[in-house]
Amino acid sequence: MSGLYYDRQGKPMEMVDWAAKHSDFDYKVVAQHWVRGWMVSTVWLGIDHGFGMSAAPILFETMIFPPGDEAGDHGIMSEEYCDRYPTEAAAHAGHDRALSWLREKLGDDALADVVGPLVPGSSDSEWDGTIEGER
């Protein structure tokens, strides 16, 4: 084991297993929502983005992409917001914080326009429309 690749539970895995999981959309995507054309996306990266410099591997990421954002010449979308986390639970909480950030940016009525979940079978399917701290 190289200590570079991890599953969603934070257990080390071989690169070939990571590649198989990473190509599985349902495994990779933790939560996605659209709000007035903005996409809030939280995904499992599976590679330690703390690069061994944090107490726990950083395996998940939330990004917010503005409306009309298209991949550039290198296939990279410009992000408006980005945060990373060591655990799936932290990633879910971070997704809620990102939705809250977007609500502040767009106005309180923006939550009426949330479309999602876009990940069938995810724990996100029971999201009740409230943001962390408001429950």
pLDDT tens column, 41-67? 999 999 988 766 777 899 999 999 887
Sketch the domain layout of the chain as residue ranges. 15-121
The letter for the amino acid at 29 is V
Average pLDDT over residues 14-19: 94
pLDDT tens column, 76-122? 456 678 999 999 999 999 999 999 888 888 887 776 777 765 444 44
Q: Which residues pair with 64 in a beta bridge?
A: 40, 81
Phi, psi for residue 93 in degrees, rounded to 5? -65, -40
Label residue 132 by pLDDT band (50, 70, 90): very low
The predicted model scores a pTM of 0.76
Phi, psi for residue 62 in degrees, rounded to 5? -115, 135
Q: With contact defined as beta carbons under 8 Å apart, do 15 and 23 qualify?
A: no
User: Which of 82, 70, 84, 74 has its CA nearest to residue 40?
Assistant: 82
